[in-house]
Structure 1
């Protein structure tokens, strides 16, 4: 809720200040976009490369849709809840991410002295926030502190998501025999405690920012995660195409599944196009490593995860001598019976709960939550 308030609040802040609702009474509008250099500043010789460099940084924040797939494993009523969550994700991405990116360019110029000094000195957090810097430039009081507080809660929320997904991924790998069995150990209520501890240990790498080379450490982490995330989407497209082939080979009707969208009828072309586009992004992730001269550190920034993934794949194939799965023999039905039985129990409990909560106060709580 804190992130939602922050995202919506900053969009309103941008609109109100750009039309003159600020202590300076300066209706700056789209001033920062006027002129070729302002809209697309020169970077490595061209404005297009500046756009690409900014896009690569933005990829780091684009994760979220794939997290829903992990949550589905522990959702109480996945067949009803998950389709609703997946359908709404595109609207949240469009509204908050696209408008948020536009707002950043509206409120602050790319070469603002305060912003440049903060980045040059390796500052982090709200110190390099375009919104906070713009508020300080406009002599707005109190509001920067509120934004800082909400940013802290948002960071905690993001860390919580990463901790959840990394521990569940490791747990799932261990359950399938692809990671040490130790990570299948859970507490009495199902929390994979061993995997959680390892995920927490990795989070301690964030303390590298406290050193004098904070920006270097942060760049390494951000770029490695960016490479991993793009590869993740690339592999998701491959996984879907294998699933599509298996459904076709086994005569499974995809249109009877709970989650449907407008592009379901167009498949597999949307998945093929997405596979191509993510492949292009991976290929050009490290463009800056070759311009103007080749830089090994920058090259490893972006491509290390690709080499690690290829190496792990080859190592596992050679070690276990596993074979590629025939679409006609792919397992598409495991655990379906267990889910059906769970739904019967769940709806019986829900029916009895609704009877006990059939009061005005119970209805109010149901509406709110």
Structure 2
């Protein structure tokens, strides 16, 4: 420690950039102006790395853990997220256009029964996946979460492919969502040049992320509250409308199921809904990525993970049940949307319009706009943190790992922001083509990410047992367990198979030309060859090994060194809880 004090003057007074407003390594004897403080905040923090140096590197070798712990006791990323932020990121992370608008085309393609079956099965898959992620993220709250776990427990080459796959997904999503946001504005006014809205939305989203993780957390907290209120409001309104409480007093009940049928396009219709449902849940895994920047993930993350069940059940299955009751799948408006954010194609808006209620469609469009901006906000956060972690693991240019004195991966944020300028294509004649191909590039990324999380958890459990550890040593255990991870992994594989089939032979393919069929296939399956190419090239280039159970690094990244004592104290406290509290904490 004496050596550290010599190298870093003032280190005895300033603990870390995440906890101190004064930059590490400098003392100031006089007040500085706000402009000077702002300029200095962008300077590199010499002690900061997005991933602790003890993490498995790109060459498959473990760095010196003792040296790593002595050099940096924690991540350079600021830890400002509180429990309420994490819970709202978990609750609102996947409530977006996939639910509000995408469910409309899913209803038209598969019918109301397919809608519930597909979303229910994907919900089970996500429940298993997020619990597996939660178990690993509570123990190892490291930046770059998913790629780091793939690198650590599977194969550094697969970690490289997954890291770039996930980063690429969010890099592409930002301009995609900005374009979608401009299209939601057209619901009210289509006379203004879309580029004007692109500039405004980019300024807002980039500005939020320049406030660091605290800005992201507060924005998502607000966005998620609005989305949750909107869904709960629709559920209450939907029940009233279905039983005849609307302005026209018409009782609907289950007439749409009875008159039009429960399924459309048979088994292929169900498979097409699977794909839509998987896209709708994208963003659920962000709660694991945020663990590295949470004050106390051991306490906050389990609560957020357990809420996934209620989010899937209440926000998706209940609301989509009502959608299937209120809107017939034969309604042409469901498939006439100009984009994935077109409120005119939203079954929620159609249900309200069918009831003869004025004003509420505009409210729902505003909620869709907020959902789109929320995804755009998450895209900069997700891509920048993943790129920074890749850089520190030697799997991306080192400059991307630049973390400033406010704990922000500022270069990676800048890269993501610059790519957002592609959204200015919204004002060009190539808008539709750009939208479709950017979507294709990131369409399957979530499936690969979720499958990798499940497989990494299976391998982690194998290594944990092989190295003599027991499950009682884990601060949080997946409720679905190892069986749940296998279920999640297999369901992810089934979704990829369903996507391949519906990509090769989409609904109505008999009326398509061979060129249109090829284009249709690559629009939905382009991400798969990209991931495989990344893996194979890096595997042969670096000659990375598969990680064996006995060689896994199960120590680096654990935040509390006395974790066993802390767990024992918590379990002794939990044993004194009354039965109602034990039941509540099991589910929430």
TM-score tier, shorter chain, comes to: 0.7 to 0.9
Q: Structure 2: how far apart are the matches of 1:231 and 1:202?
A: 23
Q: Does 1:334 align with 2:553?
A: no
The aligned residue for residue 181 of structure 1 is 398
Out of 514, 518, 522, the residue aligned to residue 296 of structure 1 is 518
The aligned residue for residue 40 of structure 1 is 263
Q: Structure 2: how far apart are the matches of 1:102 and 1:173?
A: 42
The aligned residue for residue 384 of structure 2 is 167
The aligned residue for residue 280 of structure 1 is 494
How far is the alpha carbon of 1:124 from its aligned partner? 4.0
How far is the alpha carbon of 1:258 from its aligned partner? 1.4
How far is the alpha carbon of 1:217 from its aligned partner? 4.2
Q: Cα 1:219–1:39, aligned 2, differ >3 Å: closer, same or farther? A: farther
How far is the alpha carbon of 1:191 from its aligned partner? 1.0
Higher relative contact order (CA 8 A, sep 6+): 2
* Deviation sequence 1:306-329 (CA, Å, 0-9, x none): 111111111111111221222111
* Deviation sequence 1:232-272 (CA, Å, 0-9, x none): 111112211221121111112233211124333xx2x3222
How far is the alpha carbon of 1:340 from its aligned partner? 4.1
How far is the alpha carbon of 1:84 from its aligned partner? 1.1
Q: Structure 1: how far apart are the matches of 2:268 and 2:432?
A: 21
Structure 1 unmatched ranges of 5 or more:
343-369
Q: Structure 1: how far apart are the matches of 2:407 and 2:431?
A: 37
Q: Structure 1: how far apart are the matches of 2:450 and 2:499?
A: 14
Structure 1 segment 1-369 matched on structure 2, within 5 A: 1-35=225-259, 37-42=260-265, 47-116=266-335, 118-119=336-337, 124-208=341-425, 216-264=433-481, 267=482, 269-291=483-505, 292=509, 295-336=517-558, 338-340=559-561
Q: TM-score, normalised by structure 1?
A: 0.82
Verify the 8 A CA contact 1:285 1:303 in the aligned structure 2: yes
Verify the 8 A CA contact 1:174 1:181 in the aligned structure 2: yes
Q: Structure 1: how far apart are the matches of 2:427 and 2:322?
A: 30
Q: Structure 1: how far apart are the matches of 2:485 and 2:413?
A: 33
How far is the alpha carbon of 1:114 from its aligned partner? 3.5
How far is the alpha carbon of 1:88 from its aligned partner? 1.3
* Deviation sequence 1:42-75 (CA, Å, 0-9, x none): 3xxxx22122212211211112442111111110
Q: Cα 1:54–1:215, aligned 2, differ >3 Å: closer, same or farther? A: farther
* Deviation sequence 1:63-92 (CA, Å, 0-9, x none): 244211111111001111111111111221
Q: Cα 1:135–1:59, aligned 2, differ >3 Å: closer, same or farther? A: same
Verify the 8 A CA contact 1:33 1:106 in the aligned structure 2: yes
The aligned residue for residue 358 of structure 1 is none
Q: Structure 1: how far apart are the matches of 2:430 and 2:328?
A: 26
Verify the 8 A CA contact 1:237 1:271 in the aligned structure 2: yes
How far is the alpha carbon of 1:333 from its aligned partner? 0.3
Q: TM-score, normalised by structure 2?
A: 0.53
Segment drifting more, 104-113 vs 92-101: 104-113
The aligned residue for residue 354 of structure 1 is none
What is the alpha-carbon root mean square deviation over aligned residues?
Answer: 2.5
Verify the 8 A CA contact 1:60 1:225 in the aligned structure 2: no
Verify the 8 A CA contact 1:132 1:144 in the aligned structure 2: yes
* Deviation sequence 1:110-146 (CA, Å, 0-9, x none): 2224444x33x55843122112122223221121222
